[in-house]
Structure 1
Amino acid sequence: MSANTLRAECATPGTQHVETGHRVATRSAVLRYPSLTTTVPKEFVHRASVAEVMLTDWERREDHRFVVTAQWPRSHSFFTTANGCHDPLIAAETLRQAGSLLAHAEYGVPLGHHFLMWDLSLTVLPEHLSVGDAPAALDIDVVCSDIKTRRGSLAGFRYATVMRRAGHVVATGGASFTCVAPHVYQRLRAHRLSGAGAQLPLTAPTAPQDVGRVSPTDVVLSPIGQRDRWQLRVDTRHPVLFEHPVDHIPGMMLLEAARQATVATLGEGVTPLSVIAEFSRYAELDAPCVIEARRLPRTEHEEAVEVTGHQDGEQVVRSTVTAAASAG
């Protein structure tokens, strides 16, 4: 599919009809809007709400190289701004959406297939994250590689991205995933999809100010009385982290847990500069997930925290979050 399917030329409101004998001509045939901007179909990026779609267009440049455009709002209910800057995790969500879009729109993965993210990395340049007088418009170079097929259909790929804003690099990153047909997913996840495991009760949040949040509803860590360890707080009513019903804990929630654990470890005011995350298995809704943070050796300019998540004795995620070193 070409991105041109998303572009529309619309008649200008108020155009006049001109009588020419028995024919009625309309000047709207001449007076038309140029190409208009809209979001890509929400189904292509696995969102239920158009408001949560960051991507606006895409175009194939070479066999496996694309340019995707995106827009970040000046304000968002969850990806909140701090110190006048866009939330770095909105770049992670944009990165996730780009892979899903291209898989469906350019590599022919049918809607309804399930995606399993294996890893995600992201580095942001905070000097280009500032919130301006208008939403941030992004041009994203995407190169897909390590493309795997199964019986002639895409089974997954790795992709690398460079996000630019007004010509300046604002973020770089990449990810890899596999996609699974519905009947295969049903077989793999039969026990979970049957609802056999009861969802855990919602636990109390850690103090929002300790994890860089304002509202307790956005806190994803619950205290368990141990330093640098928390239980993942899973609120399936959250309008962004659980934007639509799912049978497991979303990867973006695990990234947010890593960010919040990093802030709790390094101190308030910390802004992540980079994150590298590896996802080992599905994080389930019916078992406690313990999040643990370990401060790594500090360098002259950076501090880093390793954050892991374990469930039923198995690691589900391991991530390293890097932030600018504090003064002194």
Structure 2
Amino acid sequence: MTTFAPVQTKAHNRTTHPASSSPQRGLTTTVPKEYVHRAVVTEVFLTGWESTDADSVTVTAQWPRAHTFYGPSAGFHDPLLFMETLRQTVPLLSHAVYGSPMDHRQIWEELSVTIEPEAMRLHPTAAALELHIRCSDIERRAGVVRRVRMAVTAVRDGHPLATATTSFTSHSRALYQRLRGGYADAEKAMANAVTLPMPLRPDLVGRDRHHDVVLAATDCEDRWQLRVDVLHPIIFDHPADHAPGMLLLEAARQAAQRVHGPTPVLVTGLEAAFHQYVELDAPAWVTARRAEGDDRVLVTVEQLGTVMFECAVTVHPAS
């Protein structure tokens, strides 16, 4: 379980063009960062959306050829760029399409993704994406959306890129505070975060910088402590009262790479379930093992003896 918390920002005015002016065609911008719960506009990958019927939406996005965290490797875009793109569609649909108030928080329940590896190759230009989204199982309370399931088909420059399904719930600020109790204060939760343990060597988990490693060694080869760096500028783009979902997915990816050894692998699929919030004030433990008979790595995150997150990661040689 992970929450897409709204970013606290000052009110801003939306610029409008005079009625007599012609629209500027061919210009691209990002959607408002508030719609995707990002504090920094350069971390917004979505560029627009259009409702095609009552519960169908086409979302456009653009990936940079380089990124400080989701950077390319072995000639491929980082597959977690797609996961982050999906994550951004959750609050976008909640707020912009279904009208949830901006202080509502969206909670990820589950995520299933299949990626075409060849579609992840780097090109000389930025990647242009279209996500065709069909929403179902929509639940409302007092006219406000409470739960949505999304089926996504993504194309890159007109070619198949990925398919995905995911579901999320949306809660008002008051309900979220009741659910979280004493943990609802993000700044207090971050101040009480456990001390960061030493990271694994970056090359063991497909990274090239120590501060991007989210696993720390333990006495067991297939078990690591989750490194929750609340000062990481991408993982914690804004204050959060629990470990973000993208941190858990990154931990699953790094664990899968560690299990497969030093040869780079590309994530081409995952099945993730967010059971409970991973809190910041207690150690969390990541375990991984190969599944029998296929290329999946089965990853769990436990805290205080309870499984909080599970993910089956499918990988492909990055060659």
| Aligned match of 1:205 | 199
* Conserved? CA contact 1:156–1:178, under 8 Å: yes
CA distance in structure 2 between the aligned counterparts of 1:174 and 1:119, rounded to whole angstroms: 8
Match of 1:227 among 213, 221, 226: 221
Q: Which residue in the other structure is 1:323 paired with?
A: 315
Alignment of 1:142-291 (within 5 A): 142-193=133-184, 195=188, 198-268=192-262, 269-291=264-286
Give secondary structure in 1 for the equivalent of 2:47: strand
The AA in structure 2 aligned to 1:308 is: T
1:298 aligns to 2:293 (yes or no): yes
Distance 2:15 2:253 in 1: 37
Change (3 A) 1:251 1:29: closer
Equivalent residue of 1:256, what SS?
helix
Q: Is the 8 A contact 1:120 1:173 kept in 2?
A: yes
Classify the secondary structure of the residue corresponding to 2:196.
coil
- How far residue 325 of structure 1 moved from its aligned partner, in angstroms, is 6.6
Query: Which whole-Å CA distance do the structure 1 matches of 2:316 and 2:174 have between them?
Result: 46
Q: Which has the higher contact order (CA 8 A, sep 6+)?
A: 2
Q: Is the 8 A contact 1:277 1:317 kept in 2?
A: yes
Flag the 1:33–1:178 CA change in 2: closer, same or farther, 3 A.
closer
Comparing 279-288 with 264-273, which one deviates more in the overlay? 264-273
| Contact 1:261–1:307, Cα closer than 8 Å, also in 2 | yes
1:120-131 map, 5 Å = 120-131=111-122
Tell me if structure 2 keeps the 8 A contact 1:69–1:139: yes
Contact 1:7 1:37 in 2 (8 A): no
Structure 1 residue identity aligned to 2:270: V
CA distance, structure 2, for counterparts of residue 8 and residue 143 of structure 1:
30
Take 2:130 and 2:105, find their aligned partners in 1: how far apart are those partners? Answer: 27
Deviations 1:123-158 (A, max 9, x none): 111111112121111111001111011122100101
The C-alpha deviation readout for 1:37-93, integer Å capped at 9, x for no partner, is 110011111100111111000001011111110000010000010111110000001
Contact between 1:8 and 1:35, CA under 8 Å: does it hold in 2?
Answer: no
Instruction: Give the Cα separation in 1 of the matches to 2:275 and 2:121.
Output: 34
Q: Say whether residues 1:62 and 2:53 are aligned partners.
A: yes
- AA partner of residue 279 (structure 2): E
Aligned residue type for 2:244: P
Displacement of 1:193: 3.0
Query: CA 1:8/1:209 → structure 2, altered by over 3 Å: closer, same or farther?
Result: farther
The whole-number CA distance in structure 1 between the counterparts of 2:120 and 2:169 is 30
Counterpart pick for 1:311 among 303, 306, 314 = 303
> Quick check: 2:176–2:184 contact (8 Å CA) kept in 1?
no
Task: State the 1:315 CA deviation.
Answer: 1.0
Instruction: Tell whether the 8 Å contact from 1:9 to 1:33 is kept in structure 2 after alignment.
Output: no
The percent of aligned pairs where both chains have the same amino acid is 44
Q: Aligned equivalents of 2:202 and 2:21: distance in 1?
A: 56
CA shift for structure 1 position 298: 3.3
Question: Secondary structure at the residue paired with 2:211?
Answer: helix
Structure 1 portions without partners, runs of 5+: 1-5, 11-27
Report the CA distance between 1:34 and its aligned residue: 2.3
Matched, 1:111 2:105: no
Change in 2 beyond 3 A, CA 1:326/1:189 = closer
1:237 CA drift (Å): 0.5
Shift of 1:9: 6.8
**Is 1:95–1:174's contact at 8 Å kept on the other side of the alignment?**
no
Distance in 2 (alpha carbons) for counterparts of 1:7 and 1:56:
17
TM-score when normalising by structure 1: 0.87
Are the counterparts in 2 of residues 42 and 53 from structure 1 also a CA contact under 8 Å?
A: yes
* CA deviation string 1:144-184 (max 9, x = no partner): 11101112210010101111112111111121110110011
Distance (whole Å) between structure 2 residues aligned to residue 54 and residue 198 of structure 1: 31
Match of 1:15 in 2: none
What TM-score do the two structures reach when normalised by structure 2?
A: 0.90
Query: How many pairs does the alignment contain?
Result: 301
Aligned partner of residue 271 in structure 1, secondary structure: strand
Aligned with 2:251: secondary structure?
helix
- State the distance in 1 between where 2:21 and 2:87 align: 40
Determine which structure has more spread, i.e. the larger CA radius of gyration.
Answer: 1
1:99 has 2:90 as partner: yes
User: What RMSD over aligned residues (CA atoms) do the two structures have, in Å?
Assistant: 2.1
Q: What is the letter of the counterpart of residue 62 of structure 2?
A: Q
Following the alignment from structure 1 to structure 2, what is the Cα–Cα distance between the partners of residues 192 and 66? Answer: 34
